[in-house]
Chains A and B, each alone.
Chain A
Amino acid sequence: MKATRFCLNLTSGRPDALFRFYRECVGLPRAEGMGERALLAGPAVISFDGHSEVSGGAKEPQRYLIDFFVEDLAAEQARLEAQGVTFIRRRGREEWGGLISTFLDLDGNYCQLIEYREGAA
């Protein structure tokens, strides 16, 4: 199966607030033509909706990790921490050379900033 586009649909009891977190705090641009609550994350789209089965904080945030590959992890982490974003892992080094910091969104979903440099493995 070949998909022409990948979209991660995050559902929430407060989709407007979650959308604003990713738009204004994380700083993702709007995905034009994809609805009012859709943002671009690199080549992917993240959309935000309510759902009758979802309310409150994420009950199992380890199930999904959303990875954002960035050029300057330290700068992005500092910018997010200055806005009060909670990080549960700070610049952890992986054996394959990746540098990873993990933060929580408003619902407690896990997001990861990943910086990869050739030769860092």
Chain B
Amino acid sequence: MEISNTSVQLATSNPQRLVDFYRNVVGLPPTEGMGDESFQLGPASVLFIVNHSEVAGPTAEPARAIIDLHITGLDAEQDRLEAAGVKFLRRKGLEFWGGVISTFEDPDGNRIQLMEYRPELARPEGETVTA
């Protein structure tokens, strides 16, 4: 299948709260020309915050679909988010392949992971390492 672009529609019963979170706290760039409730995910994909009649309250399955944002400068971004009151479930966890991962939740409990690839930290799978 030839796909020109991919987007994620994240449904909520409180769109304004999620829009405020992703815009003002996470600091995702707005997507020009696609409305105030859309944000850039990476270089070309889009996150849409939408209302849905069958969605209410916090997510029932926070781990079912996780938004991974690959960034540089994870330390600084995590510090900035924590200073804004964001609670992290995982803090700078190191994967064997050299990924450093921090995980937090949005106001609906949806999970977002910040990922920074640091190849110098890669180790053989199964070997115990610390960040």
Cα-based distance from A112 to B40 in the complex (angstroms): 19
The distance from the CB of A29 to the nearest CB of chain B, in whole angstroms, is: 9
Does B55 sit at the interface, judged by CB under 8 A? yes
Contact B55 A62 (CB under 8 A): yes
- Other-chain residue from A1, A41, A71 in contact with B71 (beta carbon distance below 8 A): A1
Q: Known contacts A4-B42, A60-B55; is A67 also within 8 Å of B7 by CB?
A: yes
In the complex, are the beta carbons of A8 and B3 less than 8 A apart? no
Among A1, A53, A76, A109, residue most surrounded by chain B Cβ atoms (within 10 Å): A1
Show 28 A/B contacts (Cβ-Cβ < 8 Å), sorted by A: A1-B71, A2-B29, A3-B40, A4-B42, A5-B42, A6-B67, A6-B69, A6-B70, A7-B68, A8-B66, A9-B68, A9-B113, A11-B63, A11-B66, A42-B6, A43-B44, A43-B45, A44-B42, A63-B61, A65-B11, A66-B6, A67-B7, A68-B3, A69-B7, A70-B4, A71-B2, A109-B64, A112-B9
Sorting the interface of chain B by its residue count into under 10, 10 to 19, 20 to 34 or 35 or more gives 35 or more
CB distance from A104 to the nearest CB of B (A): 14
The interface on chain A, measured as residues whose beta carbon lies within 8 A of the other chain's beta carbons, has a size of: 40
Interface residue ranges of B101-115 to A (CB < 8 Å) = 110, 113, 115
B85-121 CB contacts (< 8 Å) to partner A: 97, 110, 113, 115
- Say yes or no: A1-B26 contact (C-beta < 8 A), given A9-B113, A27-B1, A71-B2: yes
**Complex alpha-carbon distance, A43 and B70, angstroms:** 13
Question: Does B77 make an interface contact (CB < 8 A)?
Answer: yes
Indicate if A54 sits at the interface (CB-CB under 8 A): yes
